[in-house]
């Protein structure tokens, strides 16, 4: 058996733990075997974030530990009490494992440094009284994200098993996502697939960009209608990179309307809406949830004369749960 953990405060609310390994093995397996509060996937996440050291040196997931080596790592301490929540969210679907909400534009999914406003994560903890300590992740219940200014379907997990199942589904790309975007230009092709790797912008770390050093990214789209150069697109991101739809549409000269980062300056929010999510349910079968087009985008669609074309995306649809 490995030596007991030696917790050490880091001074920032997180906790550094260390132990001396008594047996050899891959580092993620050794950590999870020694620390019952961490799964192997949890250990891999810490490694990916640069929070694990072996004999004082950074490691990779494939790093091998030998008996007598010292392993140290920082555990991200989840905030136990959510911030004051003064809003409610429209619930599109809920059961014992998951809840799907219609996230409004302007609301963050979880906290970022320097952000003190309540988030969807706070609402989830407050509304469902989750046992935070049972989750082994930094953001309990959060399995995917929408940008602050993006509206639409957001799926949340109500227990650790559901979170692990949904995380695996997103990683395996068995989740189907459909978005509606209003763009400032018409792309050259009415239907196409955009394949271009996305990574951090080399000169501005707050932005993403198409770069050879980026990760694989694939987005398909089809034109639903247009009013001169302004278009309504149905978009399917097949991978889940940060800002993927916005970056890819900007790359084909059809930036999302109002996108101040990747398009032209706008006065409001960028007009991007997560319309439908089709996901394997943690208890089996599949779940399909939709969020109707929000009022601000509907106003623009009407001004474009596309209300008839957009009618399938305007009317509320009941969620569908299918069994295996």
Of 165, 163, 161, 154, nearest in space to 123 by CA? 154
Give me the DSSP letters along 109-120. Answer: SS--TT--S--H
Tokens of 287: 């779940």
Q: How far is CA 311 from CA 78, 81, 101, 298, in A?
A: 42, 42, 21, 10
204 annotated active-site: no
Catalytic-role residue among 28, 35, 102, 147: 147
Of 22, 118, 123, 36, nearest in space to 65 by CA? 22
Contact criterion met (CB below 8 Å) for 181 and 271: yes
Contact criterion met (CB below 8 Å) for 218 and 192: no
Taking residue 93's Cβ as centre, other Cβ atoms within 10 Å add up to 19
Q: How far is CA 77 from CA 8, 37, 80, 108, 142, in A?
A: 13, 12, 9, 20, 16
Contact criterion met (CB below 8 Å) for 233 and 222: yes
User: How big, in percent rounded to 5, are the helix, strand and coil portions of the chain?
Assistant: 20, 30, 50
295-303 vs 307-314: helix crossing angle, rounded to 10:
160
Residues tagged active-site: 147
């Amino acid at each position: 058996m490995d030596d007991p953990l030696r917790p050490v405060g880091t001074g920032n609310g997180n906790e550094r733990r260390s132990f001396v390994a008594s047996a050899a093995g891959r580092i993620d397996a050794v950590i999870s075997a020694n620390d019952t509060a961490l799964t192997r996937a949890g250990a891999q996440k810490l490694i990916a974030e640069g929070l694990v050291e072996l004999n004082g040196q950074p490691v990779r997931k494939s790093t091998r530990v030998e008996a007598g080596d010292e392993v140290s790592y920082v555990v991200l301490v989840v905030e136990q009490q959510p911030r004051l929540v003064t809003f409610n969210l429209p619930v599109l679907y809920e059961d014992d494992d998951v809840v799907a909400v219609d996230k409004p534009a302007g609301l963050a999914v979880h906290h970022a440094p320097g952000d003190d406003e309540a988030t969807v994560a706070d609402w989830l903890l407050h509304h469902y009284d989750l046992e935070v300590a049972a989750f082994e992740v930094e953001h309990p219940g959060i399995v995917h994200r929408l940008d602050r200014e993006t509206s639409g379907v957001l799926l949340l997990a109500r227990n650790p098993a559901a979170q692990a199942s949904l995380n695996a589904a997103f990683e395996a790309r068995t989740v189907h996502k459909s978005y509606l975007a209003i763009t400032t230009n018409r792309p050259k092709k009415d239907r196409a697939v955009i394949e271009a790797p996305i990574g951090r912008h080399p000169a501005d770390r707050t932005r993403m960009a198409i770069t050879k050093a980026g990760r694989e990214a694939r987005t398909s789209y089809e034109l639903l209608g247009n009013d001169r150069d302004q278009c309504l697109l149905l978009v399917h991101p097949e991978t889940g990179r940060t800002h993927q739809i916005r970056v890819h549409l900007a790359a084909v000269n059809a930036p999302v309307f109002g996108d101040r980062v990747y398009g032209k300056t706008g006065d409001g929010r960028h007009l991007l809406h997560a319309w439908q999510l089709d996901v394997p349910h943690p208890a089996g079968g599949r779940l399909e949830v939709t969020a109707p087009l929000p009022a601000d985008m509907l106003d623009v669609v009407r001004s474009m004369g596309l209300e008839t074309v957009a009618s399938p995306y305007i009317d509320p649809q009941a969620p569908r749960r299918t069994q295996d």
